[in-house]
Structure 1
Amino acid sequence: MATDDGHGGELIPRPDRTPGALRIALARIAPHRLEEMERQKNTAFALAAEHDALGPIHAWLRTWAREVEVERRPDLFERRRRALAAVQATGSNADPAFRPAMDELRAVEAEAEGEAGVRWRC
């Protein structure tokens, strides 16, 4: 799935961390997820208005910057796919394979957040 487009195997360059830039990026690489993104954005903005706080909006931006990072990088996308499959294959958290699978899933998400520059706390 890696491309020879000068982006080091990335499908598109990393977008800015703004709602518009993230939406445009997602439309290019995973348009099937746009409805999910919009639904979560509406929820975040409603919570922000209800609680007079920016935390929900920051959390939404962090989540979607991470998701776009995973979607635009075939290496991360594949690692997450394998980790999710491994978690689902365990059947329960009592399975000895559950913890390593969850650790890998968390590692992928942490790498994506770090690369996308979303280290702030909400």
Structure 2
Amino acid sequence: MTADEIAAALDDASGAVEPGPSAARARQPSGRGEPATSWADAFAARTVAVEGGHLHWTGATGHRGTPVVSFRGQVETGYRLAFRWHHGREPEGNVRPRCDYPGCVAGGHLADRKLREGGGS
């Protein structure tokens, strides 16, 4: 899947999550031998679509196996990026997969505290 396909699948045509103002030049490889040009590109380089609509994380993991990605000196969890792109809002509390696929980062398979408590999208 290309970065554009991932961004479209996550309901974010631009694929952009703005890094902080002090962000340095991208150093994270895109998986194609070149630096990532967007958060979506960095994310897409670390995911593989699998059966059942799941998105398998192939990149680095942090504390407790949480998917992490960096772009322009900023670090973000794959869960929070995919959640923002899919739901169009900032997550409240921790974001975790609701499906049974370990480490799935498909936006529609993720829930924050608000969704887990039945508060809608």
Provide the TM-score with structure 2 as the length reference: 0.28
Higher helix share: 1
Greater relative contact order, per chain length (Cα 8 Å cut-off, separation 6+): 1
Higher strand share: 2
